[in-house]
Amino acid sequence: MNGYAGRILRVNLTTATITKEPTPPDLARDFIGGRGFGIYFLLKEVPKGADPLGPENKLIISSGPISGMMIPGGGKCDWTTKAPLTGGYASASMGGHFTAEMRYAGLDSIILEGISPKPVTLFIDNDRVELRDASDLWGKTTFVVEKQFKEKLGEEYQIATIGPGGENLVSYACINHDYGRQAGRGGVGAVMGSKKVKAIVIHGTKSIPVADMEAYRKAGMALFKACKEAEGLKDWTRYGTTIVVSWCDEVGALPTRNFSAGSFEGGKNLYGPVMREKIVITDKGCFGCPSPCGKYSRSKKYNSYVEGPEYETIGLIGSNLGIDDIEAVAQANRLCDDLGIDTISAGNAIGWAMECYQKGIFTKKDTDGLDLKFGNVEATFALIEKIARREGLGALLSEGIKRASQKVGKGSEKFAIHVKGMEQSGYATHNATAMLLAYMTCDVGAHHNRSWAITYDLQVGRELVVPEKVARIIWLQNFRPMFDVLGGCRLQWVELNIDRELYVPALEAITGIHRSWQDLEKVGERIWNLTRLFWLRENEDFGRQWDMPSPRFYEEAPKTGATKGQITKIEDVNRLLDMYYEQRGWTSDGLPTTETIENLGLKALTH
């Protein structure tokens, strides 16, 4: 099948059975790849009510038709599962070189099911697929594991591994790859850990067939040319995602002290140019990327190396914890990567704990003796380790802040910054209604990558609550995640502003199927509705209240910074939801109507 490696690998870990099945042509036609394949298999194969960490849950790893191709950014891999963090849908996007290697090994998807009786590595070398004993690797950190495999097998092999966080089932454990790329959010690493899969090692030497070789090469070259000529290329490549730290600080979007404000008095020490000057040593790109956002750094102070920190980590582990030392943030980043926990959720969890300490809800008795003041770097390092090991206060925080705050009570639920149980990523949304709605309605919880709208808020009026703003969020949600379906990266479109129409002939030449962006957005809309139906299927009380943001954004205006005194009214929060549901064709409780399901051709899939 043109544009596809052609096989789906299924590994039943309970019985150690390895099978391959052809990639179904109708699946490729209707869902294309990546997170499209993910939600299809999740809905079809994971039974209702499955324990996210039990044998019935599956971890579905998918490439897409531009993965591993001569298309800018063809290096994204989707990891879909039922999330241990939220009990709903998780789809984590991982960069690096893994997804390309899957395709060269002849695989479009890998489905892990069941639970292995002992730790294993899934070893794939072209058609050779084996489960190998990994007892000696269990307990080891991710850098150690990756280095061990690379030294033994060579650099052509790609490695994805969990750390102690995943082994210990931390509900926001991540999966690490290429010394610094992660499938980060929702607890995909805990699912891998629950299955006792320590690592996946993959190598392939196959070629990927395309429908029209000359047209593909021409379209691919046109895309690279556009990227290379883009005005923003130089600065973006120099600073990567850290390019926005200063802007966020200036407009009050930089999470500060557990999102109590959006500007940080020590923010200047975390800005992109400061980081570049102080610690960055190499630009590190994912597969096929002409505009590498990865900044590989060395902290002299801590004598350590890390990819990053990128914007989210600077926001959540820097300003959000009151830390203004970029080297300390880099070191905390390295600890999280080594231990295999998501920096965004970890930063939120520690920020929440620091606020509990500040408010006297926690005393040193609750913090294992740590002086958990905002800005305490050593306490942050210690707590990261405790979370990954599930020790002391870390055990509570490892459950995620929704559950942790419900257990602790005393009003701490109000400053647990999450939606649907997923901790909010790096944008403070006291007065940014489009971004707030994006977080409220994002299909994995409070994450930014589906619809990043913070600059749009500033362009059109941040407090504005109008149908056009809601329509923009819906359009972004249907469109942007299509890059996760195609197996590529959205950032060439977002940051280099290249014409998205350039992808259309490329995709057609690869797959032999013409799809306009209108067609692709329709696929995006179908997937969006299916993810919503998954949440509903797994949570009986699912509905409007699940879309509510943290009260911090409609009850507590920041006392400092650019958004001082600014807040979104609760009436506006509700108006945003009303308009959103109406435009989506959902009920006033936020559920897709029968008519919407039928119009999108999803009826057969929802039974």
Question: What is the rounded distance in angstroms from the CA atom of residue 196 to the CA atom of residue 202?
Answer: 18
Q: Does 302 bind other proteins (CB under 8 A)?
A: no
Peptide bond into 467 cis (omega under 30): no
Stretch that binds other proteins, among 86-94, 202-210, 260-268, 381-389 (CB under 8 A): 202-210
Q: Residues binding other proteins: what is the number (CB under 8 A)? A: 45
**Looking at beta carbons only, is 209 or 551 nearer to other proteins?**
209
Question: What is the rounded distance in angstroms from the CA atom of residue 454 to the CA atom of residue 253?
Answer: 8
**Looking at beta carbons only, is 189 or 240 nearer to other proteins?**
240
Tell me which of 19, 282, 363, 593 binds other proteins, using CB under 8 A.
282
**Looking at beta carbons only, is 291 or 313 nearer to other proteins?**
291
Tell me which of 16, 221, 471, 570 binds other proteins, using CB under 8 A.
221
- Token code pair at residue 294: 């990865």
Beta bridge partners of 182: 176
- Token code pair at residue 243: 């390019």
Quick one: CA dihedral 250, 252, 255, 261, positive or negative?
positive
Shortest approach of other proteins to residue 487 CB, angstroms? 13
Q: Does 212 bind other proteins (CB under 8 A)?
A: no
Strands 158-161 and 197-203: antiparallel
Write out the binding residues for other proteins, residues 222-241 only, by CB under 8 A. 224-225, 227-228, 233, 237
- Token code pair at residue 589: 């409780």
**Looking at beta carbons only, is 156 or 589 nearer to other proteins?**
156
**Looking at beta carbons only, is 100 or 527 nearer to other proteins?**
100
Q: Does 156 bind other proteins (CB under 8 A)?
A: yes
What's phi and psi for 354, nearest 5 deg?
A: -65, -40
Q: Does 362 bind other proteins (CB under 8 A)?
A: no
Tell me which of 6, 292, 394, 487 binds other proteins, using CB under 8 A.
292
Tell me which of 64, 87, 294, 340 binds other proteins, using CB under 8 A.
294
Question: What is the rounded distance in angstroms from the CA atom of residue 383 to the CA atom of residue 379?
Answer: 6
How many CB atoms lie under 10 A from the CB of residue 497? 12
Identity (one letter) of the amino acid at 469?
K
Q: Does 563 bind other proteins (CB under 8 A)?
A: no
Q: Does 278 bind other proteins (CB under 8 A)?
A: no
Q: Does 193 bind other proteins (CB under 8 A)?
A: no
* R_g over Cα of the chain: 22
Q: Does 143 bind other proteins (CB under 8 A)?
A: yes
**Looking at beta carbons only, is 148 or 574 nearer to other proteins?**
148
x-marked contacts with other proteins along 238-277 as a string, rule CB under 8 A: ----------------------------------------
**Looking at beta carbons only, is 155 or 540 nearer to other proteins?**
155
**Looking at beta carbons only, is 166 or 290 nearer to other proteins?**
290
Shortest approach of other proteins to residue 75 CB, angstroms? 8
Supply the DSSP symbol for 11.
E
Shortest approach of other proteins to residue 12 CB, angstroms? 30
Stretch that binds other proteins, among 46-54, 69-77, 353-361, 431-439 (CB under 8 A): 69-77
How many CB atoms lie under 10 A from the CB of residue 143? 19
Report the interhelical angle of 517-538 vs 467-479 (nearest 10°). 90
Helices (H), 140-284: 142-153, 164-167, 188-194, 213-229, 233-239, 245-251, 272-278
Residues 593/600, Cβ–Cβ less than 8 Å: no
DSSP string over 94-154: E-SSHHHHHHHTTEEEEEEES--SS-EEEEEETTEEEEEE-TTTTT--HHHHHHHHHHHH-
Question: What is the rounded distance in angstroms from the CA atom of residue 429 to the CA atom of residue 436?
Answer: 5
> Cα–Cα–Cα angle for 364, 368, 370, nearest 5°?
60
Shortest approach of other proteins to residue 96 CB, angstroms? 10
Q: Does 289 bind other proteins (CB under 8 A)?
A: yes
**Looking at beta carbons only, is 58 or 334 nearer to other proteins?**
334
Chain contacts with other proteins (rule: CB under 8 A): 68-70, 72, 75, 97, 100, 104, 143, 147, 155-156, 178-179, 205-208, 210, 213, 217, 220-221, 224-225, 227-228, 233, 237, 281-292, 294, 296, 298, 305
